[in-house]
Structure 1
């Protein structure tokens, strides 16, 4: 891609925004202000506004500055950061990256293959009366700005109803993603939280797991606090997950070096009062197996929202003790005590998630074609989603496809991860 100064591109006068000064639609329009779009290639130029916008509870941690910076550092994709502004104020940022496929050039959310929920970044006081106007004209704006470098914009895995508010882009044409995400609300006490999901059964499973691990010499729940520990636990996770995927005949979505470097970069970011991009939890044995780690999970926290990014278990040791299930119990109890109000198991419909969760969040994909070729890509995207829905309902077809993907995957190939395969 040639070096283009996106910031100097003029905004067409034909696409001015009319903003309502009052919420009463019966009133005449009292004022009109231009909403201008610009496209940037440097995260640092937008960092101050970016971090201000990401502070909103409605903004996904996957669009946070540190998350996106870690992905950009470990992947060569061109950044296309769409900024919406009114005067000098930034009212939204869509952090996109350009991915060149065999037939299409796609602008997508940064790190989308490994994100569980995407929202973009919008100002808390973004006037909801303008959202329909924004949606109606965003396609034209993006086409004018990006059609020279991209064929299609895909904003995937977006919940249109999140934190009790309707997403500003909900008026745009969208298709339901083949996967939902699943959450467990954390209530005033751990006992109240468990009461939502059969507390008696959960405690019984917890006691059985503890008893079996005590027979091996006991265990401890560890949270990696040093960079060295995080690096070692994360490397062990990649090893455990590779064994698991191979045993199941599934492609390894954590195989490529760029993906592993990305998670190592996240793990190196120190926690703050607002949260942590990647916290590594583990079950470590004592006794004769002292130091052996039998379960690992990676959590991301933003405010009172925690997302489980991944998990793994030792396939050879203590499998009958269900160490993965035990680790979730301990992590949720810890999060509950720390004031977390939502424990998110991430995207993908799996039995263990449904056993823990009381909330299912529907996610949608917004697909915006920018060129004629992009229209073909949009049609292909919609067809692919429908096919995935059908395949996931057909166990034999799903198993065959996963075996085929595994056979085609090579050690140096960059996987196209599907996060519900974890």
Structure 2
């Protein structure tokens, strides 16, 4: 093994610290970076692979880093000199422990890291254990490393980092495969019931003056739709006595930045869709809004909301999903992903359920306690979510304990 100069704790806004190359048997090298920019070209090349999540894309991560300004520990791995993976990690300081986790982990539906075919082809549990040990030895400023919300199997492949010892995440993700035609896509579900629901909602909104399905184009319209989502979501969560995960000012800044990031029709960090009333007493009102991400043939629902008023009787959220799936069905999308979290409307639309796992790697002696706490907490959350009565009670307690909007929150 060869060791160069030890890396120093990174500082946002300063010149990059010297990277640290760590070479292991098998000619696998680990290099740590404290900035995104030096890796941009390689990063964008890796993110083009359909198997790598949009949540590890350069634009998504840059928007989060700009909003949160946390120290970075970006892991670059090479095999025989060829780029094998990039793990974009940020340092999050909690009340008891400091952890390195995926950038933007709190608002990510699926994490894969950025993995090249060379690692996918060569990965074995022993190789991944050696790579994990190398990362653990070189990471700076963290008690433990948490690689959360990684699917065990993703689109026909076993993810290399999911081969490490793990616990099942308390939440699963739900997807609808998109077929060659919308008729075939609906045929996977109860197509007759789906068309009936669409027809009922369509007629009710037409009776209120008509509507249109809108994709935000201008910067002003994007901002309008996203701000409306924040408003609708806050009202809806307050109505049910649930905590608002979008109340943080930095999270809102991140989403606005992601919405305005450079993109095209086949690869965008965030795009806003809405139903807008076109006539009658409710002209201009927006009864439903959703934010989607797309990378290649994979579309993910990041969030959605509905407003209040007479249009809610038309199930505008269901109607919007119907129209969005139909639209992307004609645009070479193969997977419409409703994201993480078990909800009745997701199960009504989805035929696939993806198990996700969390990998925890202790770095310091204190990190062993942190890892035990994380794994125990995950198992406890799983148990609570499997009991609806206990889950409802815990949600009420969380809401009562929620403080006014914080600029930053770290979950220990």
What interval of TM-score do these two structures reach, taking the shorter chain for normalisation?
A: over 0.9
Q: Is the 8 A contact 2:249 2:406 kept in 1?
A: no
Alpha-carbon separation, structure 1, partners of 2:329 and 2:379: 38
Calculate the aligned-residue CA RMSD, in Å: 1.8
The alpha-carbon deviation at position 257 of structure 1 amounts to 0.3
Between the two proteins, the alignment pairs up a number of residues equal to: 399
SS of the counterpart of 1:39? strand
Residue 350 of structure 1 corresponds to 343
Matching residue within 259, 262, 271 for 1:267? 259
Residues 323 and 415 of structure 1: CA distance in aligned 2, closer, same or farther (over 3 Å): farther
Residue 204 of structure 1 corresponds to 196
Q: Is the 8 A contact 1:216 1:286 kept in 2?
A: no
Residue 210 of structure 2 corresponds to 218
The alpha-carbon deviation at position 413 of structure 1 amounts to 2.1
Residue 22 of structure 2 corresponds to 11
Residue 272 of structure 2 corresponds to 280
The alpha-carbon deviation at position 81 of structure 1 amounts to 0.2
Residue 39 of structure 2 corresponds to 46
The alpha-carbon deviation at position 9 of structure 1 amounts to 3.1
TM-score by length of 2: 0.93
1:302-317 to structure 2, matched below 5 A, reads 302-317=295-310
Alpha-carbon separation, structure 2, partners of 1:44 and 1:38: 15
SS of the counterpart of 2:246? coil
Residue 240 of structure 2 corresponds to 248
**Residue 384 in 1 paired to residue 377 in 2?**
yes
**Residue 70 in 1 paired to residue 63 in 2?**
yes
**Residue 152 in 1 paired to residue 144 in 2?**
yes
Q: Is the 8 A contact 1:42 1:79 kept in 2?
A: yes
Matching residue within 229, 239, 242 for 1:237? 229
Structure 1 segments (4+ residues) deviating >4 Å: 1-6, 414-418
The alpha-carbon deviation at position 343 of structure 1 amounts to 0.1
Q: Which runs of 5+ in 2 are unaligned?
A: 1-7
1:399-414 to structure 2, matched below 5 A, reads 399-414=392-407
The alpha-carbon deviation at position 400 of structure 1 amounts to 1.7
Matching residue within 179, 185, 191 for 1:187? 179
Alpha-carbon separation, structure 2, partners of 1:305 and 1:348: 18
Q: Is the 8 A contact 1:104 1:151 kept in 2?
A: yes
Alpha-carbon separation, structure 1, partners of 2:183 and 2:307: 29
Residue 89 of structure 1 corresponds to 82
Q: Which runs of 5+ in 1 are unaligned?
A: 19-33
Alpha-carbon separation, structure 2, partners of 1:241 and 1:10: 46
Q: Is the 8 A contact 1:6 1:39 kept in 2?
A: no
The alpha-carbon deviation at position 245 of structure 1 amounts to 0.6
**Residue 173 in 1 paired to residue 165 in 2?**
yes
Q: Is the 8 A contact 2:162 2:357 kept in 1?
A: no
Superposed CA deviations along residues 90-129 of structure 1, whole A, max 9, x for unmatched, are 2110000000000101000000100000000111233633
